[in-house]
Amino acid sequence: MSRELKTISIGMLGCGVVGSQVARLLQSDQEELSKRSGAELVLKKIGVRTAGAREGIPAALLTTDLMSVVNDPEINIVIEVLGGIEPARELILAAIANKKSVITANKALLATHGHELFNAADAAGVDLYYEAAVAGAIPIIRSMRESLAGDQITRVMGIVNGTTNYILTKMHEEGRNFADVLAEAQKLGYAEADPTADIEGHDAAAKAALLASLAFHSTVTIDEVYYEGISNISADDIAAAKVMNSVIKLLAIAELTVKDEISVRVHPVMLPVTHPLASVRDAFNAVYVESEAAGQLMFYGRGAGGAPTASAILGDLVAVTRHRAYSTVGYGESDYADLDIAPLGDVKSQFLIRLWVADKSGVLASIATVFAKQGVSIQGVRQSGMGLDAELIVVTHAATEDDLDATVEALKAMDIVKNVESVIRVEGVGA
């Protein structure tokens, strides 16, 4: 027995790489998407910042009056792919106030104003979905939001920025330096003309905030995420990783501490080649989840680009349309736990310290004494000589960030230490 399908009208904000792909798929796959959604989907209006034709997009759909999209009484669902904080925030709030469900890919906005937006959506009784905001086509948001809702997640580690993963992959596999690979990534379109948000970790930090919020049922903003980028990773660091049968990856990490606080951070990490995340190459993303009941889970796929991001948006659209068709809403955000953020100085990690020292007797003993005085235990040491100096690679057992920082400062003050070249956190080799 068939039923008459409701008509669900869709408005879009933005028509760039992602938005244009979504619009084209909505038109070409309208019949199939409507069958899956349980309602007839109609793309009614697209708000753009600047006038002008868009390839494959009927001109009649386009308007530069962005507010007209969210105020149109016939539009039921708004897809926001403008990016940035404003006017995206104002427009989404207006859409929600007008009882429209919203789908967004705007990680920066959600990592900054997510609490406000989710509360507004909950009060209005509408959906706010955002699968495309983290890791592109990888279904990590819905998996954590729904499939793992009955479990206790203890840790999330993710390669969530394709640009940095591409750069680190090429440095490791081809022995090239950072600047050279970055220039190549820009030519290929993997990196922006201004790559700062990617290579300095800001993009990954926004995604880390969203993952931490989901995993631990607390509101985490980007301002609470500690982050470092990869611009200081050298060819020598890559070589040191190879010696240890490891790779360097930029990871977003969110975990519960022994004090039941949330540690959330983004920084380069040295991983053994046997770790599942170590094999994630080029511009691909992956998220590794640890939970009490399910154990270890790995989510892998394309994390950026018009088509993968459009796939995530359309998946949200089908889900939200089903809710609209049956006058219901989906899963809202869960922030009941309201856990505190752990101070970075209290967080424990293993570390690799690479330093140049005078190549003479008694140096190792003096170095070990400095570590011992700061309460940092040494797991292993590698030494290679070069003329009058030697390179030491020291791997510690788990130590706090504060104790490690104090150790590094003490090392720098020693006459026998020529330079502390790098400090990189280590995961997965045993504490």
Asked if 252 and 230 count as a contact pair (C-beta separation under 8 A), the reply is no
Q: Selecting from 3.20.20.70, 3.40.50.720, 3.30.830.10, 3.40.50.620, what CATH number does the domain 6-136+306-325 have?
A: 3.40.50.720
At 1 the pLDDT is 38
Among residues 45, 107, 170, 207, which one is catalytic?
207
Residue 270: strand pairing partners: 248, 426
C-alpha span between 230 and 334 (Å, rounded): 33
| CATH class of the region 140-302 | alpha beta
By C-alpha distance, which of 15, 296, 309 is closest to 162?
309
Supply the DSSP symbol for 341.
Answer: B
By DSSP bridging, strand 153-159 and strand 284-291 are: antiparallel
Domain at 344-426: CATH architecture: 2-Layer Sandwich (3.30)
Distance from the Cα of residue 116 to its chain's centroid: 21
Which pLDDT value is given to residue 431? Answer: 55
Q: One-letter amino acid identity for 76?
A: N
- Cα torsion at 414, 418, 421, 422 (round to 10°)? -20
Tally of CA atoms within 13 A in the half-sphere of 289 that contains its CB: 26
Q: Which amino acid is at 382?
A: R
At position 201, the amino acid (one-letter code) is G
Q: Tell me: the pLDDT tens digits for 30-87?
A: 999 999 999 999 999 999 999 889 988 999 999 999 999 999 999 999 999 999 999 9
Question: What tokens appear for 402 in the block?
Answer: 């504060």
Alpha-carbon dihedral angle through residues 314, 197, 144, 260, given to the nearest 10 degrees: -160
The domain spans of the chain are: 6-136+306-325, 140-302, 344-426
Measure the CA–CA gap between 419 and 236, rounded to whole angstroms. Answer: 14
Residue numbers of the chain with a pLDDT score lower than 70: 1-3, 386-387, 430-431
The shares of helix, strand and coil residues in the chain, as percent rounded to the nearest 5, are 40, 30, 30
Q: Which of 291, 266, 264, 269 is nearest to 280 (CA)?
A: 269
Interhelix angle 162-174/178-188, nearest 10 degrees:
130
Q: Looking at beta carbons, which pairs linking 62-66 to residues 24 or more positions away fall under 8 Å?
A: 62/15, 66/13, 66/91
CA distance 97 to 175: 54
Catalytic-residue membership of 207: yes
Strand partners, 390: 357, 385
